[in-house]
A and B are shown apart, each in its own frame.
Chain A
């Protein structure tokens, strides 16, 4: 194997690829060739670094220099300056927004300082398409250890002791789930990886599969060994072509190395994995729907029990775990349950990956120990709110979760604390909102998603969510009444109480939590006919202050619907009947004469 002096790691996750990281790789390779460094420098396509806000990311090894927002045009300079001349390219280094200092080592950045990367340990580090790189990072050592030194019971005990809970949203103890499946007697069992990540804005699972597919394959094999399954299935949404591609490569390589297939590590254990593609239905993240979909049936949930661990895929015992859950398994076996359970809080162990999005400065993928506060995540890691605006709320748990506010900022993030304050961990979506976001509109946005994604099997979810959305629409249109608020609340409780699966049982959470935390905002909409955040167009009115208006006519000229009239050098007037509230006039006015009321 060639030994290189320098490695240039280029993020080849979906986000950075969309910003031409493939072209960066190409240009880097050309520059290396031009400088005759082919034997000394290697360019490595890695998985996601997480700091998507600053992508495309290029990292120089061994000195850990972290270049941000690199363009293909920067490639040759990076080679000639950084590699050849040993000088850092300052203009591509990260500048701390508070101290304005240049930081070249990612470990020193606010974004990374408080993170502990366990599930993401190899993302942004190894080439996911090269099994040797995974093995060099102790890959498949856990599988080897399990198969050659441990009984399935011992492995399960280790997982139970670690305190690992399902990362897909449910939070069920993983080891216990394995144990239940193990104890069911059957001629055939299945282990399934749930890669049907469906929360809007969430990309934890995709990034793991793109950046470290072998960790999931290894964990599934360990799961198969423990539960007595010889077949593994990855249910992955077809919208994840890159993750699918890398999984396929990884499965092929694992088979070639004998890490999948017959008599793995010389043991009696045989295991192989196949892929099943989902068409992108949110409800198929629910395990019984997922199983139906894999069977070629309509993606609809079943009433549980029976649980999949008793009767799942093709009626056989089936253990379903989420991608992130699997990614934790090999490290737990190698480092031991004690190591893992030392991280986190009393009932939530280890770390959690979040997709941090919304009005926060550092949008990206982060992994923090359980118990980290929302404040640390949003302000220290996330770098605070964009454009210096005021923090208003954060939605955790995606459309199933709730909206948390200023008063919740210091609660530790774990399964139970989030539930206690009306939200949930979910799969790890975290969307930050600022003062310009209307909470009624936010609830409506999530309901729109649930209405779209409901499978239609049970009444409360099929019709109830539709009606919730309609009431919210009415309120944001300024046509809501106080009675609507009563209906909204009752309907939300009934939908939670009567829906068949987790989708409907949680879909009213955004409504209930915003009604709870922002009651005055709902009142303002229905009683005063105002949207305090100024987001609900129907409740806004653009007006021109006749004192401030100088009659420059600029506003009337930009108005696309001719709603503004007035003589030159005279105060202008907006006709609210015609105005479409596009805001063009306010943007153009040089005298701050136009405001929203």
Chain B
């Protein structure tokens, strides 16, 4: 590879041709402050519009300052990142941004996690000499995402996430000059757009412009209401990330502490979504085998491949963008909704209470789950199966509010019967996990033989689109995996055009799967955090005494006592759903 030599802050640097000044400086330990720039390794997310102008540096011989994130190194360049001219320009640019930003840091949801705030601190901005009009835009409060565009700094990360990574394409800059802002078409609310509520825009937003809809106080209200029995379920990916909110190393598993904290918060029953994940495998796995065996016996009307349906943003995505394929995904509800349906039927019956007197709260790494829980088909006579879905971040906020010293909590177990889970349920949290869990069960049911090995490492990893063929005792089963909706789109196009020969495909909307969900602690662009969370998930799986869903004793019991058989009559009523054509059609 061709290299170039240059000088940065009087130090000689040799870098590969094409390296930006920002990266070249980083290689010698000079971290040039930046704001709009963001690159997520292992995904195709790179946001560098060169718009904020915070990273400007002085290049000798150049008339004006150069944006370090966008300027490639060239031979013999002499660069100074910290001259008075640069410092003054950088501060002035920051003062300008702050002059058009609300000063409500004290009560902003992003306070402490705001990149604008930390940069202002880093640069030591103590006053804003440029005073004037501040922008005000129409607020947007969808069931999952709150957009307060008064706080938008036009970094365009959300646009990149929505348009390039997710290929959802509902966000774009509108208006000109001082009035320009990122918005939906015609400034419609997100829930009138094709938004999937994946929350990846929220995950990358540097300020408080994009945040989740906060349900924490509604949950508190339910907990203190003596008439209500409040049941909480926690998704697999939450336990691998919650600790970060309390200063723990990324990848620290806090399953036991989390259960303890939830109990301390006053939930009546602390259950695990992993239980419902095992249930999902029973239903989805059965559906897969049913379709597969029909197909193998010559019924070509059967729809293959089967697509997983546990990711609500993915469901929104195909309802909006591929409605003609809505018969292909599994009809199995997501674990969150299966849990709600079972809790408000089977478990409410057990407690001998009316379903209206039970409040089901879910703790999710996800913002789309908030939307999913409001879908009308997931409620009975106006009573939703899942009343409130809160994010990992919201749970952390609740724990802090309740003055619980999370780090020193002793480990506790989940309650039974909806708290027991297997390793298969846990790995739902990482990309490839759902399909691996399904394979573990489907293999044994199909071949009637015990699995020779439980770890399907060929299904794991961070590659955006992966495929593998699993040998079902002589029957090759082709598996496809995509995470990130842009990758999902590619895979789907191949299915649509008949190019692919997959039997089953797992799709997760968020890069990395649920561990990288829109409701997780902010990663601030550090993708190592996601890898550590994934490792934690697989560690928990490895340590579990039972690692196959169909061996979960409480699942076995649930079918014996209540449901009958997988994909049976009651299962269909409670655990399966159907999809809608939500494509936006332009009428001219």
Q: A463-B99, A491-B130, A498-B93 are in contact. Are A456 and B178 (CB under 8 A)?
A: yes
Interface flags, A208-221, vs B, CB<8A=1, else 0: 00000000000000
Contact indicator per residue, chain A 474-514, by CB within 8 Å of chain B (1) or not (0): 00000000000001001100101111100001000000000
A159 beta carbon closer than 8 Å to chain B: no
A451 contacts B by Cβ under 8 Å: yes
Nearest-neighbour CB distance to chain B for A514, whole angstroms, equals: 20
Q: With A and B bound together, what is the CA distance between A61 and B64 in angstroms? A: 54
Residues of B within 8 Å of A, CB-based: how many?
38
Give the CA-CA distance A467 to B85 in the complex, in Å.
20
A427 contacts chain B at the CB level, 8 A cutoff = no
A451 engages B96 (CB within 8 Å): no
A464 is an interface residue with CB less than 8 A from chain B: yes
Cα-based distance from A505 to B130 in the complex (angstroms): 19
Contact status of A462 and B177, CB under 8 A, knowing A457-B154, A497-B85, A498-B56: yes
Q: Contact check, B172 vs A490: say whether CB atoms are below 8 A apart.
A: no
In this complex, how many residues of chain A approach chain B with their Cβ under 8 Å: the count is 34
The answer to whether the Cβ of A153 comes within 8 Å of any Cβ in the partner chain is: no
Q: Is the Cβ of A456 less than 8 Å from the Cβ of B64? A: no
CB contact under 8 A between A298 and B178, given known A458-B52, A491-B92, A500-B50: no
Determine how close the nearest CB of chain A comes to the CB of B465; give it in whole angstroms.
Answer: 24
* A463 CA to B96 CA, complexed, in Å: 6
A542 to chain B, nearest CB (A): 31
Partner of B178, one of A281, A451, A491, A497: A451
User: Which B139-163 residues have C-beta < 8 A from chain A?
Assistant: 153-154
State whether the Cβ of A455 lies closer than 8 Å to any Cβ in chain B.
yes
Per-residue contact bits, chain B 519-531, to A (CB 8 Å; 1 contact, 0 not): 0000000000000
Shortest CB–CB separation between residue B497 and chain A, in angstroms? 24
Per-residue contact bits, chain B 214-238, to A (CB 8 Å; 1 contact, 0 not): 0000000000000000000000000
Asked whether A420 is an interface residue with its Cβ less than 8 Å from the other chain, the reply is no
User: Which residues 301-343 of A have a CB within 8 angstroms of B?
Assistant: 302-303, 305
Interface 0/1 of A440-465, CB less than 8 Å to B: 00000000000111111111111111
Question: A262: CB under 8 A from chain B?
Answer: no
Q: Are A490 and B88 in contact (CB under 8 A)?
A: yes
Cβ B176 vs Cβ A453 within 8 A: yes
Q: Smallest Cβ distance from A81 to chain B, in angstroms?
A: 54
B64 neighbours in A (Cβ, 8 Å):
496-499, 505
- Are A467 and B176 interface neighbours, CB within 8 A? no
Q: Within A408-463, which residues are at the interface with B (CB < 8 Å)?
A: 451-463
Residue A105 CB within 8 A of the other chain: no
Cα–Cα, bound, A497→B63 (Å): 8
Chain B: minimal CB distance from A298 (Å): 6
Q: Which residue of B lies closest to A483 (CB)?
A: B129
- Given A451-B178, A462-B178, A466-B178, the answer on whether A457 and B51 have CB atoms closer than 8 Å is yes
Selected contact of A463 from candidates B56, B72, B97, CB within 8 Å: B97
Chain A minimum-CB-distance residue to B71 = A303
Task: Give the residues in chain B near A498, CB-CB below 8 Å.
Answer: 53, 56, 64-65, 89, 92-93
C-alpha spacing A461/B153, complex, angstroms: 13
Contact A466 B65 (CB under 8 A): no
A196 at interface by CB-CB < 8 Å: no
Q: Tell me the nearest residue of chain A to B177, going by C-beta.
A: A454
Which B residues from 39 to 88 make CB contacts under 8 A with A? Answer: 49-54, 56, 64-65, 67, 70-72, 85, 88
CB <8 Å contact, A456 and B180: yes
Are B172 and A303 in contact (CB-based, < 8 A)? no
Q: Are B49 and A457 in contact (CB under 8 A)?
A: yes
**B53 A470 Cβ-Cβ under 8 A:** no
Tell me if A's interface is mostly helix, strand, loop or mixed: helix
Q: Is B175 an interface residue (CB 8 A)?
A: yes
A466 pairs with B93, CB closer than 8 A = no
Q: Are B51 and A500 in contact (CB under 8 A)?
A: yes
**Distance (Å) between the CB of B175 and the closest chain A CB?**
7
Closest to A451 in B: B177
The answer to whether A300 has its CB under 8 Å from any CB of chain B is yes
Q: Are A467 and B132 in contact (CB under 8 A)?
A: yes
- Which residue in chain B gives the minimum CB-CB distance to A455? B176
Cβ of B133 within 8 Å of any chain A Cβ, yes or no, is yes
Of A305, A462, A466, A497, the contact of B154 (CB 8 Å cutoff): A462
In the bound assembly, the distance between CA atoms of A481 and B172 in angstroms comes to 40
Determine the chain A residues whose CB is within 8 A of the CB of B71 once the complex forms: 303
**Distance of A491 Cα from B154 Cα, bound (Å):** 20
* Residue ID in chain A nearest B181 by CB atoms: A456
Contacts of A463 in B (CB 8 A): 96-97, 99-100, 130, 178
Tell whether A452 pairs with B85 under 8 Å between CB atoms, given A457-B51, A459-B51, A498-B64. Answer: no
- By a CB distance below 8 angstroms, the chain B residues around A453 are 176-177
Residue contact A499 to B178, C-beta cutoff 8 Å: no
Residue in A303, A456, A499 whose CB lies within 8 Å of B177: A456
Distance A300 CA – B176 CA, assembled complex (angstroms) = 10
**A470 touches which one: B67, B88, B132, B153 (CB < 8 A)?**
B132
30 contacts between A and B (CB under 8 A): A298-B172, A452-B177, A454-B176, A454-B177, A455-B176, A456-B154, A456-B176, A456-B177, A456-B180, A457-B49, A458-B51, A459-B52, A459-B53, A459-B93, A459-B96, A459-B97, A459-B153, A462-B178, A463-B97, A463-B99, A465-B178, A466-B100, A466-B132, A470-B131, A487-B129, A487-B130, A494-B88, A496-B64, A497-B64, A498-B65
Which A residues contact B (CB, under 8 angstroms)?
281, 298, 300, 302-303, 305, 451-467, 470, 487, 490-491, 494, 496-500, 505
Starting from the known contacts A456-B179, A499-B64, 20 additional A-B residue pairs (CB-CB under 8 Å) come to A300-B173, A302-B50, A303-B50, A454-B176, A454-B177, A456-B180, A457-B51, A457-B154, A459-B93, A459-B97, A460-B96, A463-B100, A466-B178, A470-B132, A487-B129, A487-B130, A498-B53, A498-B56, A500-B51, A505-B64
> Which residues from chain B sit less than 8 Å from chain A, CB to CB?
49-54, 56, 64-65, 67, 70-72, 85, 88-89, 92-93, 96-97, 99-100, 129-133, 153-154, 172-173, 175-181
